[in-house]
Every structure is written in C-alpha cells, then in structure tokens.
C-alpha cells in the first residue's frame, strides 16, 4: 500500500493550495475581461450610432438638395455631392429625363447607364431601363433597345411596368418591319388585366395601324419666281431680296429707255420737218366756172 497522504474525504472542495491559487486567478481576471468587453461594446455602439446619425444627416441633406434642384447643372451637382444616396440616383434619372425631352438622346442614354451602374437597386431602376429603351428606339438603335428590354425582363419581369416593356417590343418589331410580331406584342398588352385602360387603349390603337407606313418624305418643290410686269406698276424697291431689287431696277431702266425712244423723232431732219411743215395750198377755181356777162 502507498503511504502517500490523501486528503480526507470530508475536506471541503477548494481547500487545497492549488485550488485556492486557481480560484484567486479566476477571481482576479474575470472582472477585467468583463470590463474590456463592456468597453469594446460601448465603443462599437458609439461608432454605429455616429455612422447611422451621419447617414441620416446625409440622406436629409441630399433630399433637401434634390427638392430644390431643377436645372441640369443643379441635378448633376446633387448626383456628385451626395453620391450613394437615393436622392442622388433620383437626380440622375431626372437629369436623363430633361436631356431626352430636349432631344439629346445620346446624353440621356449615357446618364441612364451611369445610374444603372451605381444604383441598380434604386426604386426607379425599372423605369430607367424603359426610358433607355425608348431613347434607343428614337435613335434607331433597335438591337440595343431590345437588349435593354431583355435586361428589364431578367430583373423586373414582375414589375407593374412589364406591359409597357411589351408595348415597346411591339414598337421595335414594327420599326423593323415585322408586322406580325408587332401585332402579337400589342395584342398581349391590349388583353392584359394589369395594363390598365389607357395602356390597353394605346395598344389597340397601335394594332390598327401596325401595317400603316408613313409616306416617304420628299423635298418640297421650289417656289415659282414672281412674274414681274413689263410696263410700269413695278413693286417699290427694296424688297429685302438683292437679286429681286437688281432685276426690278434693270427692268425699270429698260422701260424708261424704251419710252424715251418712242417719244423722240428718229432723225434730226424729221424733227426739223415737223417744226417747219408747209401750210396746205388753197384750192384753185375750176375751169368750168363761168364769169358773169
């Protein structure tokens, strides 16, 4: 048998020196750990609060700036100074709308592309795709427009604007000369319950004219030259047309010269003869006249 002393079974737990030392370490280190964790949590909470408050302030400032922006320069400034906010994305959409309304379709498409690159999750992303497709149709870039509509279907197929996208597909097919495909697209929109009255009515109207081809534009015939009188009654110069004024003056001089020639005698002799013309002689008595007695 081993003669090593063993602690009696009735000795309370933790009364050995090793156990007391261990308890001392735990008792002294646990409060410090909790303190460090608490401080770290407090710092994180303060940082989160500051970031959140800063985010709220930025959104508020962007919304105020967007509310007062109207010109293209002001809208671009909102997009640049408040980049990343919803208001900045809205400013880009409004800017593209102004550019397209002014006929600057290429610039409008470029602005929408910038918007889609940075704000793909923006609430107006679906509308932006349709605006881009419409502008591309106006530019006769039907392939790019159809690609844009495919992108719309891939990301916003359940959007309330889906019927409008189908209507634009019909427009593209009509522009390409695919009357049957265009009519099919218009029929889908016309029979859609979600299309609404005005959109369905528009689709019906386009169905009726799907085979209509607008007349080819021709240059108008040149206006006829005004007929000028040959004698007198000429319009007064100037007429605000240098060529016309020169022609009037030329005809006027020709008429004046012609009138002078008609009034003047042809030769000096004729003029003298007209001035010294002999008086007619008195008639002599007839030989048959008899004298009295």
Q: Report pLDDT for 263.
A: 61
pLDDT at 104: 94
pLDDT confidence band for 219 (50 / 70 / 90): low
- With a CB cutoff of 8 Å and minimum separation 6, the contacts of 273 are none
Read off the pLDDT of each residue in 12-36 and give the average, rounded to a whole number: 54
pLDDT digits (tens, 9 = 90+) for 139-174: 999 999 999 999 999 999 889 899 999 999 999 999
The whole-number pLDDT of residue 292 equals: 45
Can the peptide bond before residue 228 be classed as cis, meaning omega within 30 degrees of 0? no
Supply the pLDDT for residue 166: 93
- Percent of the chain exceeding pLDDT 90 equals 32
Neighbour-count burial of 215, counting CB atoms closer than 10 A to its CB (0-12 exposed, 13-18 middle, 19+ buried): exposed
Superfamily per CATH, domain 62-208: Tetratricopeptide repeat domain (1.25.40.10)
- pTM attached to this predicted model: 0.55
pLDDT (0 to 100) of residue 235: 52
pLDDT in tens, 84-119: 888 899 999 999 999 999 999 999 999 999 999 999
Q: What is the 3-state secondary structure (H, E, C) of 253-285?
A: HHHHHHHHHHHCCCCHHHHHHHHCCCCCCCCCC
Q: Are 262 and 273 in contact (CB under 8 A)?
A: no
């Amino acid at each position: 048998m081993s003669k090593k002393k063993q602690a009696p079974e009735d000795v309370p737990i933790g009364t050995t020196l090793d156990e007391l030392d261990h308890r001392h370490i735990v008792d002294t280190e646990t409060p410090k750990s909790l303190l460090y964790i608490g401080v770290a949590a407090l710092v994180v909470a303060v940082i989160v609060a500051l970031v959140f408050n800063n985010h709220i302030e930025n959104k508020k400032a962007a919304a105020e700036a967007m509310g007062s922006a109207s010109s293209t320069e002001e809208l671009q400034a909102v997009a640049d100074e408040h980049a990343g906010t919803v208001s900045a994305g809205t400013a880009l959409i409004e800017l593209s709308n102004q550019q397209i309304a002014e006929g600057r379709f290429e610039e409008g498409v470029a602005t929408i592309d910038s918007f889609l690159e940075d704000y793909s999750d923006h609430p107006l992303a679906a509308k932006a795709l349709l605006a881009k497709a419409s502008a591309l149709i106006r530019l006769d870039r039907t392939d790019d427009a159809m690609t844009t509509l495919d992108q719309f279907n891939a990301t916003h197929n359940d959007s309330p604007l889906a019927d409008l996208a189908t209507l634009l597909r019909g427009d593209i097919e009509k522009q390409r000369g695919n009357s049957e495909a265009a009519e099919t697209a218009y029929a889908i929109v016309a029979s859609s319950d979600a299309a609404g009255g005005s959109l369905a009515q528009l689709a019906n109207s386009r169905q009726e004219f799907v085979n209509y081809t607008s007349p080819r534009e021709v240059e108008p015939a040149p206006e006829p030259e005004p007929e000028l009188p040959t004698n007198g009654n000429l319009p007064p110069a100037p007429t605000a047309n240098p060529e016309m004024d020169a022609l009037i003056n030329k005809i006027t001089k020709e008429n004046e010269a012609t009138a002078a020639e008609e009034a003047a005698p042809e030769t000096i002799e004729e003029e003298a003869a007209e001035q010294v013309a002999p008086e007619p002689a008195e008639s002599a008595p007839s030989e048959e006249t008899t004298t009295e007695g």
